[in-house]
Structures are given as C-alpha cells and as structure tokens.
Amino acid sequence: MLPDFNYSDIYISTNLLYKDIVKKQLSEIPDSNFLFEPEKKDVAPAIALAMGIISKLDPKEPVAILWSDHLVKQVPLFKKILKLAGSEVRKNPNKIVFIANKPRFPSTNLGYIHIGEQIKKEDDINIYKFEGLKYKPNEETAEKFFQSKKYGWNLGYFVSSADFIYKYFQRLAPNIYNNTESILKNYGKPDYHSFLKQTYGKVESINFDNAILENLDKKDACVIVEDIGWSDVGSWEALKEALQLKTEENVTNGRVYLDNVQDSLIYNYDENKMIVAVDLEEIIIINTQDAILITKKNSMGKVKKIVESFPGTEHESLI
C-alpha cells in the first residue's frame, strides 16, 4: 500500500497469540494500531472492536477492510480502486463499497457478490448496484454465475466509514455491540487489556457475513468488480493459481517425481520420502510429518469441515 498510505493509517487485528511475531514483522506500525483479540471469536467481533475503536478517532473517515493472507498481483489497479472507493465513502459515509474480483473460473470454494446495473464510471472503473451475497455454489451454479458475468468473487474486501459499520452492529448484532461498548469504555485505560480479556469471552462468535452483510440493505452498498490478480494464498488451490504460469502447469515442492500429471500441486515436506505421481489431473497432495492430504482441487472446501470434526476425537492432536 505504500507510499499511497502511511504506516500510521494501517491497523492490524489478530489474535494475541501472534503478538510478538506480528509486531516484529511490522515494526513500522505504531503500537496503538495493533488490536489483539484475547481469544478466537470469528470475524464479526474482531471487526466490531476495530470499527468501534477507529470510530472514536475519526467516525466518518473511509476504512478499508482487507485480509493479510491474500495475494494481489495488480497492485496499481488495486490502489486505484481503493482510492475511488474511499472517495465514494467520503461523499456518503453511510455506504459500503464492496471490492470483488472478476471470476477467472467457476470456483465452488468462494462466495460471490451479485451485481446489478451500472451506477457510474469513473477513471475507467465501473461501480455497480449491489444485489446480494451468494454462498459457495455447487459446480452447476458456479458455472451459471461465471457465464452470466453478473457475479464477482467475494473477497471480503470493502470500504466504508467506521461509524456506519459499527452502527450496523448496534442494529443487527446487539450482543456483539453491547459487549464491545463495554470494552470501549475502558479503551486507553490502564486496565483495558485485563477488561478486554474478561469481557471478550462473552461476545458471540459469528462470521461477519452472517452477522451483518447477509442482512445489509441493498441501498447501503455498491460494488466495484475488477481483475486485481487476487488469490487467497491461505488455501492450497489458490496458492497453486498464484504460483503457476499457466493453468495446466504443476506446482511442486520437495522430493517429487511426476509422470503424465497436469494442473496439480504437490508439496512434500518429508525429506526421507519421495512422492511419485502418475496419470493424475487437478490433484492436490500435501505430505507432512504427521499427515498426508490427497484431494481433487475442487474438493478443497470439504477439508475445513473434516478438520472441524476432529476436536474430541483421536485426530484432535493434528489440529
């Protein structure tokens, strides 16, 4: 984002477990701009706390919500979009501008944003009406979305004012809002962190989409859809897309031998073994010291559900 955005304008929200690592990696960011959750509570409570704090500092200033485990290749275009979205929010602080990516293929592992008619065009970038969010579709529906050109990948990126987002919590998520208000009364005081730890456990754990965005008034939002070269490198299939030069290319790491393999990602973290793959296509293989993952690329969305079933079982130690 530099030099268009200053370090003092960047806030980091993450779990307290990562405090030392994050502060070491981002030493230029002021200490007061780190917002640490004392425990994991999904995305909605984290955004509520961040918006509550920022709204105290500058309630109408545009704020961009972005995620750290994503890759954006078209950086100049992305900066241009952020500036345009910020300009729209300055004109109307009671607005959310979603930033979606033009689908490069019919993904079943991503949510979608349904776009309506074009509202305006500025600096060669179109802004569209917001028609709603769609959860991860099946293959048939994903293909329809892709062919219609009326849907963008939902990246979880948006620009709005902190005050507007925070007031949506007051309206739609009272548990999160009321507990966050209690926390904010102690913000900046010596006992803030101990009070945060004590109170945060009472906050409802819920995704931001479920808590707020799925119930958003359409008139309160608009959408920018461009191909910013986005990949969610927090997932294996997205990492492959980010590293590949062309779709049919394989991406490998470690001791790997391939024969007639296409469009696959194979990572071997065990130096004592070699992975040999023959006559495969669109496969992901990850070999670590304690587990091996073998799946079709388009089935990666099921892996999270499988891992979520491990607590309380003999597989819990793998989490």
pLDDT digits 0-9 by tens, 23-78? 999 999 999 999 999 998 889 999 999 999 999 999 999 999 999 888 898 999 99
Q: How many domains does the chain have?
A: 2
Is 227 part of any domain? yes
Q: Is the pLDDT of residue 94 over 90?
A: yes
pLDDT tens digits, 119-135: 999 999 999 999 999 99
Q: Are the C-beta atoms of residues 300 and 236 closer than 8 Å to each other?
A: yes
DSSP string, 122-181: ETTEEEEEEEEEEPPP-HHHHHHHHHHT-EEEEEEEEEEEHHHHHHHHHHH-HHHHHHHH
Same domain, yes or no, for 123 and 213?
A: yes
Q: Is the pLDDT of residue 3 over 80?
A: no
Which residue range is the domain that position 300 belongs to? 236-318
At residue 115, the pLDDT reads 98
pLDDT tens digits, 194-205: 999 999 999 999
Q: What mean pLDDT, rounded, does the chain reach? A: 93
Same domain, yes or no, for 45 and 119?
A: yes
Is 12 part of any domain? no
Same domain, yes or no, for 67 and 127?
A: yes
In 3D, which of 92, 87, 110, 90 has the Cα closest to residue 100? 110
pLDDT tens digits, 132-163: 999 989 889 999 999 999 999 999 999 999 99
State what percent of residues in the chain have pLDDT above 70. 100
Same domain, yes or no, for 262 and 225?
A: no
Same domain, yes or no, for 282 and 210?
A: no
Mean pLDDT lowest for which of 26-40, 213-227, 304-318?
304-318
Same domain, yes or no, for 241 and 216?
A: no
What is the CATH number for 160?
3.90.550.10
pLDDT class of 301 with cuts at 50, 70, 90: confident
pLDDT class of 181 with cuts at 50, 70, 90: very high
pLDDT class of 236 with cuts at 50, 70, 90: confident
Is 89 part of any domain? yes
Same domain, yes or no, for 212 and 297?
A: no
- Tell me how far the alpha carbon of residue 221 is from its chain's centroid: 18
Is 9 part of any domain? no
pLDDT class of 239 with cuts at 50, 70, 90: confident
Last residue of a domain, one of 171, 202, 231: 231
Cis peptide bond upstream of 3, omega within 30:
yes
At residue 305, the pLDDT reads 85
Last residue of a domain, one of 168, 196, 231: 231
Is 17 part of any domain? no
Last residue of a domain, one of 209, 231, 253: 231
What phi and psi values does residue 93 have, to the nearest 5 degrees?
-65, -15
pLDDT class of 179 with cuts at 50, 70, 90: very high
At residue 60, the pLDDT reads 95
Is 28 part of any domain? no
Is 6 part of any domain? no
pLDDT class of 238 with cuts at 50, 70, 90: confident
Same domain, yes or no, for 184 and 130?
A: yes
At residue 233, the pLDDT reads 80
Q: Is the pLDDT of residue 105 over 90?
A: no
Same domain, yes or no, for 202 and 241?
A: no
Burial 18-47 (b: 16+ CB within 10 A, else e): eeeebeeeeeebeeebbbbbbeebbbbbbb
The pTM (predicted TM-score) of the whole model is 0.82
Same domain, yes or no, for 104 and 161?
A: yes
pLDDT tens digits, 106-120: 888 889 999 999 999
Q: Are the C-beta atoms of residues 150 and 174 closer than 8 Å to each other?
A: no
pLDDT class of 19 with cuts at 50, 70, 90: very high
pLDDT tens digits, 264-277: 999 999 999 999 99
Strand partners, 230: 72
Strand partners, 265: 251, 284
Same domain, yes or no, for 314 and 172?
A: no
Q: Is the pLDDT of residue 166 over 80?
A: yes
Q: Is the pLDDT of residue 220 over 90?
A: yes
Same domain, yes or no, for 64 and 144?
A: yes
At residue 283, the pLDDT reads 96
- Which residues, in sequence order, are CB contacts of 133 under 8 Å at separation 6+? 111, 112, 113, 114, 154, 209, 213, 214
Is 166 part of any domain? yes
